Homo-oligomer: A and B are copies of this chain.
Amino acid sequence: MLRLQEGSRPTVPFPVNNTIRLACSDCSLREHCQPPDLSAADLARIEATISSSRRVARGSALFHAGETFDALYAIKSGFFKTTLTTADGRQQITGFHMGGDVVGLHGIGAGHYINDAIALEDSLACRMPYARIQEVAQQVPALQAHLHRIMSRQIASQHGVMLLLGNMRAEERVAAFLLNLLQRLDARGYSNTELQLRMTREEIGSYLGLKLETVSRIFSRFAADELIEVSNRHVRVLDMDALQARVHLPGCEPQA
């Protein structure tokens, strides 16, 4: 079984859609994408079905809208966006996904993917054929429960996005976006005050329902107010409390 050399930088062009193998038991993301408390036998069974990894080069797709759905993907490393395209060509980014996230769940019901999942940096994903997942879940209750949890959480988190898009002003959206990213990075052991954005201002805007100029202006405003420090795509939070305070609407404090 090939062991990935995590730290090494490839000297050749990044291979696209190359399939390699890597043990689930070695995966640092186990607690994110697998049910806890599995027996060794169960783990082995799951591993046999899903330990096929796919490299995805920056800019290329894990799957495209319209392709027949046949597998879920757990992101092992890297960063993805999922984008919806309308008949008249408008694009909406429906999510940003990082290590441990599972993408493709929307395809189960439709039979095909409705999204494009595009890597925003060279990434590694774990391909999990859905037919096999179903089989194993039928025998391993913990996997079934885990799958339900993952789908349910995605539904719940999308409610949060609807709140963001439906109720928040531009400033609040950007603040909430940054805080959400930081929180997810924190949960993965990274800094909770500093991050490297993997997406353009335009992509942030698409996700937040704003234009790229608006996003840029708000970054500048936050920097001017000394809430954050922005240098290109590197963002450092200087005043976490103040940033969090911006998520609540400014002119509408609950009054006695």
Contact = CB atoms under 8 A, between A and B. Distances in A.
Contact of A248 (B88, B92, B110, B134): B88
A230 interface: no
A254 interface: yes
A17 interface: no
Main secondary structure of the interface of A (DSSP, over half): helix
* A interface, size bucket: 35 or more
A53 to B, nearest CB: 24
Given A109-B156, A149-B108, A155-B151, A162 B163 contact: no
B166 A158 contact: no
Contact of A109 (B137, B153, B206): B153
A188 B154 CA distance: 27
Interface string A81-93: 0001011111010
A107 interface: yes
Contacts of A90: 163, 167, 249
A136 to B, nearest CB: 11
Interface stretch (A1-9, A139-147, A213-221, A235-243): A139-147
Nearest to A88: B248
A209 B152 CA distance: 24
Contacts of A96: none
A12 interface: no
Nearest to A165: B165
A159 interface: yes
Contact of A167 (B110, B162, B209, B249): B209
Interface of A: 84, 86-90, 92, 94, 105-110, 114-115, 134, 137-138, 141, 144-145, 147-156, 158-163, 165-167, 206-209, 248-249, 252-254
14 contacts: A84-B163, A87-B248, A88-B253, A88-B254, A92-B167, A94-B162, A105-B151, A108-B152, A109-B150, A109-B153, A137-B144, A144-B144, A151-B155, A165-B166
* CB-based closest 5 A-B pairs: A109-B152, A166-B209, A108-B152, A109-B153, A165-B165
